[in-house]
A = this chain, B = another copy of it.
Amino acid sequence: QDTQGLPDQRRIPINKVGIKDIRHPVRVKDRTQGEQHTLAHFNAYVDLPQHFKGTHMSRFVEILNDHEREISVESFRSILEEMRARLEAEQAHLEMAFPYFIMKQAPVSGVESQMDYEVTLRGHLTPEDYQITIQVQVPVTSLCPCSKSISEYGAHNQRSHVDLQVRARDFVWIEDLVELAEAEASCDLYGVLKRPDEKYVTEHAYENPKFVEDLVRDIARRLEDDERIVWYTVGAENFESIHNHSAYAWIERDKRTPLPDGA
C-alpha cells in the first residue's frame, strides 16, 4: 500500500513539491578548460494535481544521482523532462546553485589567480513552455562619486555584490556575464595582486566612481545592447565602508517592453 498514491479529497493543487537543499559534486561547462569540478545545492520540484495525496521524494534524488556527471545549461531541459515523466507531473522546476571559478590575470603583473562567483541556474518546464534563468553574483569594488567629489583626498570604497539574472535566446557563457559586470564596476577583484597591481586597482577605482545606481544602470545598458539577452534583472549591494548597512539598487527589464522615451 503506497500512502503517497492515495486519492486526495481536499482538492487543493500544490504548485511545488520536492526536495530542497541537497548537495552533490558536479561538473559544469567551462569556457577555458572545457569543464570544471564544483559542488551544487539543488532544489527540485514538480507540481502536484489536486487529486494526488503525495509525490515520491526518493525519485528526485535518483534523477540527480543519474545526471550529476553531466549537468549543464544544455542538459537542464532533459533533466526536467525526466522529472516530469518519472514524477507524472505537468510542471518541473530545478534550481542548481554552485560556486564557479575563473582564472584571472592581475592587471599589471599578469600573475594568475582564481576568483569565485556564485551561480544559480533555474529551469522551469511546462507542457507549453521551457525557460532557463542564469543568475551570477559578481563581487566588485565600488567607489562613491559623492565622497570623491566633496573630499580633498580619498573616497570611500567597498566590496559590492552585483547580481545578474538573464534569460537568453542564445547560449551565454557564465564568463560573459561576469566580464560584463566587472567591466562596469569601479574595479574588479583578484585573488592575488602584486604591488604594481595594487597601485593600478586603487587608481582605477578612483578614476571610475560609481553610485550603486550607476552600477546597475551601466550594466543594464550593456544587457540592452546584447542581442542574446531577452530578459534580465540587475541588482547591486554596496557593503558600505562608512555605514553598517548596505546601499542597494535593482532593475528588472523584459526587453520586449520599450524603455521610456525611446531610450
- Chain B residues near A149: list those with CB within 8 A: 1, 3
Q: Which listed residue, B53, B101, B195, B241, touches A157 by the CB 8 Å rule?
A: B241
- Chain B residues near A214: list those with CB within 8 A: 53-54
Give A164 Cβ to nearest chain B Cβ, in Å: 15
**CB-based nearest B residue for A117:** B244
Give A186 Cβ to nearest chain B Cβ, in Å: 9
Is A183 an interface residue, CB under 8 A from the partner? no
B156–A153 contact, CB under 8 A? Answer: no
16 intermolecular pairs with C-beta atoms under 8 Å apart: A4-B146, A10-B263, A11-B261, A12-B224, A18-B248, A23-B244, A24-B101, A48-B213, A50-B259, A53-B211, A144-B198, A151-B198, A153-B153, A157-B241, A158-B158, A189-B244
- Chain B residues near A192: list those with CB within 8 A: 58, 61-62, 65
Known pairs A37-B37, A54-B211; A21 contacts B159 (CB<8 A)? no
B243–A189 contact, CB under 8 A? Answer: yes
Is A260 an interface residue, CB under 8 A from the partner? yes
- Chain B residues near A205: list those with CB within 8 A: 154, 156, 241
Is A256 an interface residue, CB under 8 A from the partner? no
Contact with B along A8-46 (1 / 0, CB 8 A): 101111111111111111000000000011110001010
Q: Which listed residue, B54, B147, B213, B224, touches A54 by the CB 8 Å rule?
A: B213
- Chain B residues near A217: list those with CB within 8 A: 8, 10, 12, 14
**A134 CA to B195 CA in the complex, in Å?**
36
Is A92 an interface residue, CB under 8 A from the partner? no
Give A14 Cβ to nearest chain B Cβ, in Å: 5
Is A191 an interface residue, CB under 8 A from the partner? yes
